[in-house]
């Protein structure tokens, strides 16, 4: 007799790539990634059906947005091709109007196929899935939803817009979504002896499966650092070889299921994730700032990699110096974290390392013709670095005009000072027609933990 399925919830954090942008694409280098305390949550529940009614469908909802609902049918395929997932239109207005979501559909296909390989003689039951996101993922303000019989509002906000009208803040929502979605499905359908998120093997399986599905959904580009952070939390990350995924058959083709299981459970992955190498001193914290800017430069990664290919010796010198600086930054943070107490005078080495790394980033930007730290962001970072309690800051990830991250003393008055100082901050046109508008502090900070199972009480009212 099959064990009754119980509601299961999982969450995964946002991320910020503090050091190692561009370098992380090459296995010869690594990246310093901090997870952030904004999470995406997925709740999976059994579907209550009448006796004698047999349905095979999964309904996915994102109830913080208007009409965000996707209905899927699924079935096993011959020749070990796994589970095929098809989006349905069954007459509901929401289903007809909803656009396809490749991250949800691909994560569902990969997770159900993997589950099917572990439970080959067991029918995969229908389920209902809810996805909920913390406020910081979106710049839309959101409204609190009161809970029944409680004066306290829900942890989650009603954004009161359609998903296409929601404005993301660039915290890695697709990686956190795919990972929490995958974790919740594994926890819901698999018994604990086959998958347990609290074990090293459970995290390894989650990482491998989420990497495979996320990579496929976004066209097999990217280094995978965002998935690694979603699973393991803050870490030093070295990417896997692209060949790890290139040999995997496409979903729905012959032997996809067997190949996926071997990939997820096997030892082909050569990624290197060092959690112990990343620490945050107790007296410091990260502050993220969202930059409202009128333009973005497309194809930044492609242009930098093309420049590196054409100027290998110059590029390799810059990358080697940046890599050394990134390693030194992580080591200095870990050293300070081991100290019983830190005074501002002890942050001099951190300041110097951040400044030197920024010089190298600007050098790489100038040489490649890519605005990794454009002049507008240079002025903003220089300004913030003069504020009391600010150690330094960088343009995270691939750079550009969208955001900055600051390393600051962990004091309320320091964060309040940053917020107040940025209210009136303006940067003049640098001659490229791009002006920085409003700069706002996002209400998040670093955290060390990655994926976890959540208490269902958190989702009351949703």
The answer to whether the beta carbons of residues 129 and 50 sit under 8 Å apart is no
**Which residue, of 215, 241, 275, is where some domain finishes?**
275
Cα gap 14→161, rounded to integer Å: 22
Q: What is the pLDDT of residue 248?
A: 93
Shared-domain flag, residues 224 and 299: no
Element (H, E) at 39: strand 31-46
Other beta carbons less than 10 A from residue 136's beta carbon: 18
The answer to whether the beta carbons of residues 11 and 452 sit under 8 Å apart is yes
Cα gap 324→312, rounded to integer Å: 18
Q: What is the DSSP letter of 371?
A: -
pTM, to two decimals: 0.93
* CATH of residue 69: 3.30.230.10
Identify whether 243 is part of a domain.
yes
Q: What is the pLDDT of residue 14?
A: 96
**Pick from 93, 90, 65: nearest CA to 462:** 65
**Which residue, of 275, 300, 323, is where some domain finishes?**
275
DSSP assignment of 40-85 equals EEEEEEEPP--TT----EEEEE-TTSBT-EEEEEEEE-STT--EEE
Sorting pLDDT into bands at 50, 70 and 90, what band is 54? Answer: low
Please give the residue that has the higher pLDDT: either 49 or 341.
341
Q: 27-31, 335-339, 378-382, 428-432: which has the minimum mean pLDDT?
A: 428-432
Q: What is the pLDDT of residue 297?
A: 54
Q: 49-58, 207-216, 302-311: which has the minimum mean pLDDT?
A: 49-58
* Chain centroid, CA 439 distance in Å: 22
Shared-domain flag, residues 169 and 96: yes
Sorting pLDDT into bands at 50, 70 and 90, what band is 91? Answer: very low
**Which residue, of 215, 250, 275, is where some domain finishes?**
275
Residue-wise pLDDT tens digits, 248-284: 999 999 999 999 999 999 999 999 999 999 999 999 9
What share of residues in the chain are helix, strand, coil (percent, to 5)?
40, 25, 40
* CATH of residue 329: 3.30.70.890
Shared-domain flag, residues 328 and 262: no
Domain count, the chain: 2
């Amino acid at each position: 007799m099959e064990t009754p399925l119980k509601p299961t919830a999982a969450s995964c954090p946002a991320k910020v790539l503090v050091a190692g942008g561009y370098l992380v694409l090459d296995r010869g280098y690594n990246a310093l990634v901090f997870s952030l305390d904004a999470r995406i949550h997925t709740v999976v529940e059994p579907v209550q059906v009448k006796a004698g009614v047999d349905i095979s469908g999964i309904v996915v909802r994102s109830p913080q947005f208007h009409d965000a609902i996707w209905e899927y049918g699924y079935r096993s395929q011959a020749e070990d091709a796994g589970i095929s997932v098809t989006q349905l239109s069954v007459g509901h207005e929401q289903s007809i109007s909803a656009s396809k979501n490749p991250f949800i559909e691909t994560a569902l296909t990969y997770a159900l196929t993997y589950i099917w390989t572990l439970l080959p003689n067991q029918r995969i039951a229908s389920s209902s899935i809810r996805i909920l996101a913390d406020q910081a993922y979106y710049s839309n303000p959101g409204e609190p939803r009161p809970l029944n019989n409680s004066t306290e509002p829900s942890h989650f906000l009603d954004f009161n817009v359609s998903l296409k009208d929601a404005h993301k803040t660039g915290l890695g929502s697709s990686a956190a979504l795919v990972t929490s979605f995958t974790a919740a499905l594994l926890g819901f359908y698999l018994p604990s002896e086959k998958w347990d998120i609290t074990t090293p093997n459970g995290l390894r399986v989650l990482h491998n499966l989420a990497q495979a599905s996320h990579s496929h959904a976004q066209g097999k580009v990217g280094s995978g650092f965002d998935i690694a952070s979603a699973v393991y939390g803050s870490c030093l990350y070295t990417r896997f070889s692209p060949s790890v995924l290139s040999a995997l058959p496409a979903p729905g083709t012959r032997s996809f299921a067997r190949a996926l299981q071997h990939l997820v459970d096997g030892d082909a992955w050569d990624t290197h994730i060092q959690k112990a190498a990343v620490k945050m001193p107790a007296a410091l914290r990260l502050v993220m700032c969202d930059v409202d800017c009128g333009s973005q430069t497309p194809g930044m990664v492609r242009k930098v990699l093309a420049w590196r290919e054409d100027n290998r010796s110059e590029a390799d010198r810059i990358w080697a110096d940046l890599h050394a600086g990134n390693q030194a930054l992580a080591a200095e943070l870990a050293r300070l974290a081991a100290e019983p107490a830190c005074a501002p005078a002890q942050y001099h080495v951190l300041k110097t390392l951040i400044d030197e790394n920024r010089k190298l980033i600007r050098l790489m930007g100038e040489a490649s013709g890519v605005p990794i730290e454009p002049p507008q962001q240079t002025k903003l970072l220089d300004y913030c670095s003069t504020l009391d309690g600010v150690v330094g800051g960088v343009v995270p990830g691939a750079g550009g005009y969208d955001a900055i991250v600051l390393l600051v003393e962990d004091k309320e008055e320091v964060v309040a000072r940053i917020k107040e100082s940025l209210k009136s901050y303006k940067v003049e046109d640098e001659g490229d027609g791009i002006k920085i508008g409003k700069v706002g502090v996002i209400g998040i900070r670093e955290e060390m933990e990655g994926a976890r199972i959540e208490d269902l009480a958190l989702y009351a009212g949703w």
